[in-house]
A and B are shown apart, each in its own frame.
Chain A
């Protein structure tokens, strides 16, 4: 099995902390981007960040507990992310073609 977490630090536990910390930072960046940006491309990128930060934790846990299933789950998330990006990009493209602006809050004609 590939072991990507053999980081050259003194103890193995601090490598796990590092991965968890990276994941948390990625997740926070993704959430903030989701909330603060108005551009659909930026929002899509933020969603990718969210997915990948979750993936990171998944792979870490799989490695720690020795579950191969969880690693395959991480692969599924990657595929899902790709599919989501395709649909999201298509929507963003349609939005650009129909309107001059790139503000995601502007199209709200179908509101209740």
Chain B
């Protein structure tokens, strides 16, 4: 059983075979890794749920907590199945998507690297090991966003991701340094470690900053829409299903410790709710199909953050699982559409795909309905309902923002769906289509099944976790759930009418709250101001030096006299 905790090493054979193998179908061997990881998670779920611990002492003696600690428990097992399952689908999809790409071998090696570090992050038993995985997924994200080196903007997009991730890494590192000796063990954090008084809220704030950098929340959202410059399978795996969910995973892991700082939890609820609302609005103004979906990911991650703020980490985890299925599905559908249209990503130019890609149309409909939260039939409804129920019973104001976002979710999902697959007006450009092959379509079926069925997995999931609420009840049909579902579907319907009225060009005028260029300009001005001091005049330098010495002497005499 101890072998299961080493699941992060499972992709290595595949990685070596892909990197050095002579096979004409590079990448097929890599598929072993994710499947093995998902199976490891499933084996744990079917066992008696006793956590598996691996401890190697004295790994990094310079750190306060020097042990190399791995831990496989219910939460980690759920994440293993999510990471393994989604990656397996994305790998199969990529076999077809990247078939003609020259860098295919490099692509699969990088994906293997990502899966390895993501699994290490999930299996980490203390914060030090978690940080190794945490920084690793950031690096993998950068490398994969900038995968197409010959395209412009990909390097800039990758660097944005690195910049945001660096903020998160620094915050997590500070949190590790702050922890008292021997308590960076996640189980201690999970049970709420007794901290030095006043330390809890600082520690909680640092962890929230780290998580929001990874999950593109608040002002750190900026890198996620830019990250869409990478290949679409990467967007589906890393920037929709797994890596961006790592922030939520960290918060779920540390939620008992966060509970010691109620004011931080309250701020977290607001952060999530406002991000959900604003990025929902931002999605409505996007011209690019993938960027529209990226803002939707920000918005849904906002729901998960808010859920943790409401003190309902299980609801957040549940939404993470269902969201991974339907958002990865939506991205893979988008990839199929973009692939078919020879790399075109602008919405009006993609219109009228329903007739040409009927299978993709059905799959995208399933994903869209799950995102809107069609009650009973789709998984998204169950988890979103659970979050909003938790919010309405604890802090009403952020929760009402989330309810408003449900309508927005319907609207932006519908705008994207009907913009691409909606009724044709007859004047859109005729595509010389590059139809997706069966391998590509079949790789999406498991995700579609997940988007429909995972809602019923809620109760078994709750039994896996140690600190899930005991009185948890997930209703398939409830009054609130039906109302929320109806709200989402109203938005979806409204989008249909909107797209029909504007002939597939529905788009909100963009509203500028983009702070990133402003911050860049400000730091440039600051640098120029200081550069003016370095004018190369030695006399001036000497004068400043003498003046400084004189001032110090004056102060010293003043102190004495």
* B is a partner of A: yes
Residues of chain A touching chain B, judged by Cβ–Cβ distance below 8 Å, are 31, 34-35, 38, 43, 104-105, 107-112
The 8 tightest CB contacts between A and B, nearest first, are A108-B536, A112-B531, A112-B534, A111-B536, A104-B538, A105-B537, A111-B535, A34-B542
Contacts of A35 in B (CB 8 A): 539, 542-543, 546
- Which residue of chain B lies nearest to A111 when distances are taken between CB atoms in the complex? B536
The answer, yes or no, to whether B557 is at the interface (CB within 8 Å) is no
B528 to chain A, nearest CB (A): 9
Query: CB-CB < 8 A to B473: which residues of A?
Result: none
B556 to chain A, nearest CB (A): 16
When the two chains form the complex, which single residue of A43, A104, A107, A108 contacts B535, counting CB atoms closer than 8 Å? A108
Question: Of B530, B531, B536, which is in contact with the most chain A CB atoms at under 10 Å from its CB?
Answer: B536
Nearest CB of chain A from residue B548's CB, rounded to whole Å: 13
Q: Annotate B537-560 by CB proximity to A: 1 below 8 A, 0 otherwise.
A: 111001100100000000000000
For the complex formed, measure the closest distance between the CB of B139 and the CB atoms of chain A, giving whole angstroms: 33
Total number of residue pairs linking A and B with CB closer than 8 Å: 30
- Whole-angstrom distance between the alpha carbons of A43 and B546 in the complex? 14
Q: Considering only CB atoms, which chain B residue lies closest to A31 in the complex?
A: B546
Distance of A34 Cα from B537 Cα, bound (Å): 13
CB neighbours of A107 from chain B (8 A): 536
- A34 lies within 8 A of B530 (CB): no
A70→B534 CA distance, assembly (Å): 37
What's the Cα separation between A38 and B542 when bound, in Å? 11
| Nearest CB in chain A: distance from B102 CB, A | 43
Residues in chain A near residue B531, CB distance under 8 A? 112
**Number of interface residues, chain B, beta carbon within 8 A:** 13
A109 close to B536 (CB less than 8 A): yes
Q: How far is B530's CA from A38's CA once the two chains are assembled, in angstroms?
A: 25
Q: Which residues of B contact A38 (CB under 8 A)?
A: 539
18 A-B residue pairings within 8 Å (CB atoms): A31-B546, A34-B542, A35-B539, A35-B543, A38-B539, A104-B538, A105-B536, A105-B537, A107-B536, A108-B536, A108-B537, A109-B536, A110-B536, A111-B534, A112-B530, A112-B531, A112-B534, A112-B535
Q: Could you tell me the distance in whole angstroms from the C-beta of A44 to the nearest C-beta in chain B?
A: 12
The main secondary structure of chain A at its interface with chain B is loop
Docked complex Cα distance between A110 and B542 (Å): 17
Chain A residues contacting B538 (CB-CB under 8 Å) are 43, 104-105
Shortest CB-to-CB span from B309 to chain A, Å, is: 46
In whole angstroms, how far apart are the Cα atoms of A93 and B534 in the complex? 24
CB distance from A39 to the nearest CB of B (A): 11
Which residues on B are within 8 Å of A, measured CB to CB? Answer: 530-539, 542-543, 546
Chain A residues within an 8 Å CB radius of B534? 111-112
User: Which residues of B have CB within 8 Å of A43?
Assistant: 538
Q: A34-B546, A107-B536, A111-B534 are in contact. List 12 more A-B contacts (CB 8 A).
A: A34-B542, A35-B542, A35-B546, A105-B536, A105-B539, A108-B536, A108-B537, A110-B536, A111-B536, A112-B530, A112-B531, A112-B533
* Distance between Cα atoms of A104 and B540 in the complex (Å): 11
Q: Which of A35, A107, A108, A112 has the most CB of B within 10 A?
A: A112
Q: Which of B534, B538, B542, B543 has the most CB of A within 10 A?
A: B538
Query: Complex Cα distance A105/B533, Å?
Result: 14
Q: How far is the CA of A110 from the CA of B535 in the complex (A)?
A: 8
Q: With A and B bound together, what is the CA distance between A34 and B550 in angstroms? A: 14
Q: Inside 8 A of B533's CB, which chain A residues have their CB?
A: 112
CA of A13 to CA of B448, assembled, Å = 98
Most buried by A among B530, B537, B539, B543: B539
The CA of A112 and the CA of B542, in the complex, are separated in Å by: 17
The docked-state distance in angstroms from the alpha carbon of A112 to that of B543 is 18
Contacts of A31 in B (CB 8 A): 546
User: Which chain A residues border B542 with CB–CB below 8 Å?
Assistant: 34-35
When C-beta atoms are compared, the residue in chain A nearest to B536 turns out to be A108
Q: Measured between alpha carbons, how far is A109 from B535 in the docked complex, in Å?
A: 9
Residue contact B539 to A104, C-beta cutoff 8 Å: yes
Q: Which residues of B contact A34 (CB under 8 A)?
A: 542, 546
Contacts of A111 in B (CB 8 A): 534-536
A38 to B531, CA, bound (A): 23
Chain B residues near A108: list those with CB within 8 A: 535-537
Q: Which residue of A lies closest to B527 (CB)?
A: A112
List residues of chain B with CB within 8 A of the CB of A104: 538-539
Complex CA distance for A38 and B537, rounded to whole angstroms: 10
User: Measured between C-beta atoms, what is the minimum distance from A49 to chain B in Å?
Assistant: 14
A111 to B537 CA separation, bound complex (whole angstroms): 9
For residue A107, which residue of chain B has the nearest CB?
Answer: B536
Minimum C-beta distance from A17 to chain B (A): 18
- Chain A residues, CB < 8 A from B530: 112
Task: Looking at the assembled complex, report how far the CB atom of B208 sits from the nearest CB atom of chain A, in whole angstroms.
Answer: 38
Residues of chain B within 8 A (CB-CB) of A112 are 530-535
A35 to B533 CA separation, bound complex (whole angstroms): 17
List the A side residues contacting B532 at CB < 8 Å: 112
A112–B526 Cα distance when bound, in Å, is: 13
Q: Chain B residue with minimal CB distance to A38?
A: B539
Q: A13 CA to B535 CA in the complex, in Å?
A: 47
CA distance in complex: A38, B534 (Å): 18
Q: How far is the CA of A34 from the CA of B540 in the complex (A)?
A: 11
What's the least CB distance linking B549 to chain A, in Å? 9
- How far is A105 from B542 in the complex, measured between Cα atoms in Å? 11
Return A110 CB to nearest CB of chain B, in Å: 7
Determine the chain B residues whose CB is within 8 A of the CB of A105 once the complex forms. Answer: 536-539
Nearest A residue to B539, CB-CB? A105
B282 to chain A, nearest CB (A): 38
Closest to A34 in B: B542
For the complex, give the distance between the alpha carbons of A25 and B537 in Å: 27
